[in-house]
Chains A and B, each alone.
Chain A
Amino acid sequence: MAWVNDIIQGILTGGLYALFACGLSLMFGVMKVVNLAHGDLAVIGGYIAVGVITVTHIPVLWSVVIVVPLMALLGYVLQRTVIQASLDRSILTTLLVTFGLSVVIENGLLQFVNADSHSLGVGNAIITSSFSIGSQITIAYLLLLIFVVAVVVLLGLQYFLSVSKYGRLIRAVADDKEAAQLSGVDYRHVFGIAAAIAFGTVALAGIAYGMYSQFSPTTGTDTILLFAFAAVVIGGLGSLWGTLLGGVVLGVAQEIGAQINASDQLLAGYIVFLAVLAFRPQGLTTRRAQS
């Protein structure tokens, strides 16, 4: 029964990892930008939430209403300025610039905030309580909530991209931005919108992680970015549902690793990632991989 519990915990944690990966996947799919500052931006979302809650004393979950739009705005502005400017030069420049951004954010947080860990919603009943099924399986409401949010976000994105006007525009510029431009679409604005959506999910990921665990300035790279990336690669590049599957596989691998030896949690996840890279580089969901 302990194994069943591990697998259930792993699947639910996979939802969190899929949420991490959503924005990374979207930005790569539309702009062909791999944002190396992805995780650090999620951590910024977490810090903004801490700030908002300290100042206004609103309940943790309500901080989403403020932080997500703020991060979306930041995403639009960053995309229209720094990221677009580097895209205009080369793919290589986008990597150099986003890596620079990542290091600047991480060290900036260390310098201006501090290296202490923060978390969100300590003492909040919904966030800390759980329910049991039988004697072995205990499910935290929070993890279930995060999993549901992840599925809703993925469903919402899928629906938005396939049905809405902006979704159509985003798919058009992702396919061929010059042709879209010729048809009268300002692709830079559409990129901005896509980045805003991606950053909105990044903010959700940051807040969710803050409630799930503790975060510090270094969480952005050593946890969020790497897990997000592992989920994307395991699932298969460019597939939203693959990302969820990737997150789940990573989550389950980590839980099983932790069961074998508490210190092997991270290693187990990365070994599964490397195995997928070695033997099934196109990811688990069969789609044409590579860019």
Chain B
Amino acid sequence: MSVATETTARSVEKYRVTRSRRNVAWTGLGALVVVVVLALFPYIVYSGTTSIMVQAFIVLTLASMWNLLAGYAGLVSVGQQAFVGLGAYFVLILNIHSISMFTALPVAAVGCGVAALPMWWLVSRLRTGYFAIATWVLATTVLLIIEKFPSIGGGTGMSLPHTPNNGTALLEADTYWIGLAVTVLSLVTVYLLLRGRLGLVLTAIRDDEVAARSSGARVGLARMLVFVVAAIGCGAAGALLAISQLIVQPSAVFSVQWTAVMAFAVIIGGLGTIEGPILGTIVYIILQQTLASYNAWYLIILGLVAMVVALFARRGLWGLVDDHLHIRLFPVGYWLWAPGSGGRRLRGVSPRRGGRHS
């Protein structure tokens, strides 16, 4: 066979593009098994464990939203506590009007999404660091306004007045299941958004904003969508916080500490990967539980680790896993297979996310 015909034969064989290097059917199945096992937790573990898990659900939901903002859209918001607080207060307000706190959760989340629109109009005028501080000022302003209403607790806060009275065990289990549902829904939403057109636009913006704009990508719209989705997610987490604590205190729910927690979990786990926030949340919960008796120490350690990771291992813990094993639990990029390469990878075009500028 001549060289020429061999080349022709090769070009007939197509390049293949897949979502991941490895088959992801098993990861989907694995995720399903994990969710089912987690759903059975209230039957098999102590209530102390489920309440820690609820904290983990709150942090994971917040972290995956912050990851969407900072890791994919390049929007470093330091004011996400605005939506945590608003979510909690929406639950309180609805509960005062005798609406069950579990029914109030989705309403609170949507309410936060609506509230995010005027806020976006204000803060989108600023970029990078000034955007960050503007969101912070906005969160503080929302707190100051809410504190002016004594009917919802004023500056001290109040307990949810209408809590279900069919036993603590059932209440805790219900809270746990709602928390699990919120978290799974958040992760699935982020995954589907990034897999779709929005993910493509965000990747284009990250690589070259001017080129993306000139190719017709609606940059402003994409960023706004991300901001609103993140507000809904953080609002749901805030509502979950109110449900799990049964009390809403303004300084606690509007604390900038929430943003610190979500940012650190994302940075340590891996900014710009869907898997990163999961790992980061695990690290956070372990540190927080072990160092709980040493006050602020866990935040100091987390902050220092996050700084080191941001400087020296930009893709975080999940980046290390990915570099060695090429695993994507939630593949949103693409993998290019050369013709005839069989099982061998020729070139990975999986997007390496971790910030717009490089």
Interface residues of A (CB under 8 A from B): 28, 33-36, 82, 85-86, 89-97, 99-101, 103-104, 107-108, 110-111, 221-222, 225-226, 229-230, 232-233, 237, 263, 266-267, 270-271, 273-274, 277-278, 281, 290-291
Contact A90 B358 (CB under 8 A): yes
29 example contacts (A-B, Cβ-Cβ < 8 A) are as follows A28-B129, A36-B129, A89-B311, A90-B355, A92-B76, A92-B355, A92-B356, A93-B310, A93-B355, A95-B128, A96-B70, A96-B76, A96-B310, A97-B307, A97-B311, A99-B260, A100-B307, A104-B299, A107-B300, A108-B300, A111-B296, A221-B136, A221-B256, A222-B140, A226-B136, A233-B134, A266-B144, A270-B140, A271-B141
Question: B307 — which chain A residues lie within 8 A by C-beta?
Answer: 82, 96-97, 100-101, 104
* Residues in B288-318 with C-beta less than 8 Å from chain A: 295-297, 299-300, 303-304, 306-307, 310-311, 314
Give bound CA distance, A271 to B299, whole Å: 32
CB A115 to nearest CB in B, in angstroms, measures 10
Does B212 interact with chain A (Cβ within 8 Å)? Answer: no
Q: Return the chain B residue nearest A28 by Cβ.
A: B129
Judged by DSSP, the binding face of A is: helix
The contact of A96 among B125, B304, B306, B356, by CB within 8 Å, is B306
Query: In the complex, A38→B96 CA distance in Å?
Result: 41
Cβ 8 A contact of A110, one of B76, B138, B296, B314: B296
Interface assignment of B3: CB less than 8 Å from any CB of chain A:
no
A34 near B132: Cβ-Cβ < 8 Å: yes
Q: Are B129 and A86 in contact (CB under 8 A)?
A: no
- Give the docked Cα–Cα distance between A270 and B141 (Å): 7
Our pick among B137, B260, B297, B314 for the contact of A103 (Cβ within 8 Å) is B260
Interface residue total, chain B, C-beta cutoff 8 A: 47
CB distance from A131 to the nearest CB of B (A): 33
Quick check: B141 and A92 within 8 Å, CB to CB?
no
- Minimum distance in angstroms from B81 CB to a CB of chain A: 12
Do B122 and A274 touch across chains, with their CB atoms under 8 A apart? yes
Find the B residue at minimum CB distance from A291. B127
Q: Which of B121, B127, B299, B358 has the most CB of A within 10 A?
A: B299
Q: List the B side residues contacting A274 at CB < 8 Å.
A: 122, 137-138, 141
Contacts of B132 in A (CB 8 A): 34, 36, 95, 99
Residue of B nearest to A108 (CB): B300
Q: Which of A33, A97, A107 has the most CB of B within 10 A?
A: A107
Please state if B134 and A92 are interface contacts (CB–CB under 8 Å). no
**B135-171 interface (Cβ within 8 A of A):** 136-138, 140-141, 144-145, 147-148
B76 and A229: CB pair below 8 A?
A: no
B270 within 8 A of A: no
